[in-house]
Amino acid sequence: MRNFADVREAGLEIRRDLFKGPKVASSRVQQFTELQGLEAHERFGYSYSIEADGFPPSVDEVVDVGTRLAFPDYQTEAGRDRMRRWLRLERSDRLIDKPLAGPNGLTEELHPRLISTVEGKWPSYRYAERMKGAVEILAIQLLRAPDTRRAYWPIFWQTDVYRSHAPTRVPCSLGYQFLIRKVNEDLVLYLLYYQRSADFEHFWLSDVWLAQQFQSFLRIKIINLAGESSPLCSLKMGSFIHFIASFHLFDDELGEIY
Amino acid sequence: MNIHDVKVDLPDETLREFWTRFMDLRKKRFYAFCEVEVHNNGLVQPNISLSSARGQEAFRILAFRVIEELAESIQANSVEHKLEEMADAINYVLSIPYLDLSIISSTSVLESCIFLSKPGNFLGSQLDFYDLGGVAYQLGVETGDYLRNRAWTKNAQDLYFVGARKLMECLQIILSVLFVPFVDFDQLRWYLIAKDEVLKFRIRTNY
């Protein structure tokens, strides 16, 4: 497993690792096959970690990293503004305990092909729906059994399998697992993030940052619920560990990578 | 991550100071990658006798890596990419002595590098497949002729490697070819140090 100090160096090196991977025929997003002959460089079973303090703390800094890493969605002021709005909204919808908001249309604005996968007026799934209650429930479970290996929150459901063949929306994330382990004298919260598929250029940065925000929100929730006498009241952030079954990079978006 | 993403500090130093420093860096990186290689049952290891079948196989592997990097350099489009691959090829050439320091000492390679770093040896011109053929000939024929202890024969044709002098000549010829695409010594120095920084990063991040 590659071990990176921060998101920037991870992004730079992962792009190269993927570029060295074999080319496979691939649809772009959610089984859309209108772009025949499209190829992607793909690595199977790719994994890496990023140190706990290696993430940008604010949305503005994430957008800055995306711009510096030359991700296509961050290259114009309009694009950066869209990403800022989307990241703020997604973080809030996914992680803050409040009545579930309806679809906001920003996801479809970012990825226009997804408009045709909206069923009626509602997307077939949203992270906000599937993560509803995740922070609270996981925090309570981890407080009851800090050493559990069962603190896993699924995003990909059985019903998604029935749509494997279809040009409709299913999540790229399989789920998030949290483990608390003692490192020296500290209790540390690790996130293991599992994805079935990830398009590096368009989705990696936001997927990773929102997952790490989940870890951060969960840690704060555990500390708040723990009480001063609990060893969990000083819970530390641990590494972010990412496993991706098919990690890919589309050939038509690349320059010379070496 | 590549050479353009790392910080390169180039102190004021003489040719001798640079090459002494760089050979030390090369040794460190070579040993570090060999530690990884041993876990993967790879053959390339430091201090492996070039008289042994295994040592000679290790030489062939490093020789092929030189050819591979040179070919990548010739195929690359941008000048930066070409020079970065050339730095890789030079690194593999400079690793060869560490296979068996009793055959070629790092000091003799150091002296060769100093000798070859004269301004006239840097032309800033691109290499082509004729150069690749020349380098392959030096490694495969001129030196290869002395590699007589083969893993797939029951009896070695030569019990001892007797090609030390020829090997040193070949390495000098190959280095002189690999220096040609750089415009001057400072550019070569920049690429070698930048690439070393990238290799340090790769070792740190479990490449």
Tens-place pLDDT, residues A7-20:
999 999 999 999 99
Work out the minimum CA distance from B186 to partner chain A, whole angstroms.
22
DSSP 8-class letter at A96: S
Asked, for residue B5, whether it belongs to a domain, the answer is no
**CATH code of B73's domain:** 1.10.4010
pLDDT at A242: 98
How many domains does chain B fold into?
A: 1
Asked, for residue B2, whether it belongs to a domain, the answer is no
DSSP 8-class letter at A49: E
Asked, for residue B191, whether it belongs to a domain, the answer is yes
Query: Are B205 and A12 a contacting pair at CB < 8 A?
Result: no
pLDDT at A216: 98
The predicted complex's ipTM stands at: 0.83
Interior CA angle at A91 toward A88 and A94, to 5°?
Answer: 140
Asked, for residue B1, whether it belongs to a domain, the answer is no
Mean pLDDT for the stretch of residues B43-59: 94
* Closest chain B CA to residue A9: B1
Asked, for residue B186, whether it belongs to a domain, the answer is yes
| The two structure tokens encoding residue B80 | 């930066």
Q: What is the pLDDT of residues A181-224, one digit of tens each?
A: 999 999 999 999 999 999 999 999 999 999 999 999 999 999 99
pLDDT at A164: 86
Work out whether the CA dihedral A112, A115, A121, A126 comes out positive or negative. Answer: negative
Asked, for residue B192, whether it belongs to a domain, the answer is yes
The single residue listed with the structure tokens 């690349």 is: A254
Q: Map residue A153 onto helix, strand or coil.
A: strand
Asked, for residue B26, whether it belongs to a domain, the answer is yes
Domain, as residue range, for B19: 14-204
Q: Which residues of A touch B205 (CB under 8 A)?
A: 2-5, 9, 13
Percent of chain A with pLDDT over 70: 95
pLDDT at A116: 73
First-to-last alpha carbon distance for chain B, in angstroms, is: 12
Q: What is the pLDDT of residues A21-56, one digit of tens each?
A: 999 888 766 656 555 668 899 999 999 999 999 999
| Helix or strand holding residue A238 (H, E) | strand A236-250
Amino acid at A138: L
| Helix or strand holding residue A241 (H, E) | strand A236-250
pLDDT at B150: 87
Asked, for residue B9, whether it belongs to a domain, the answer is no
Can you give the pTM of this predicted structure? 0.88
Q: Map residue A191 onto helix, strand or coil.
A: strand
Q: Please, are residues B181 and B127 in contact by the beta-carbon 8 Å criterion?
A: yes
Query: Are B84 and A258 a contacting pair at CB < 8 A?
Result: yes
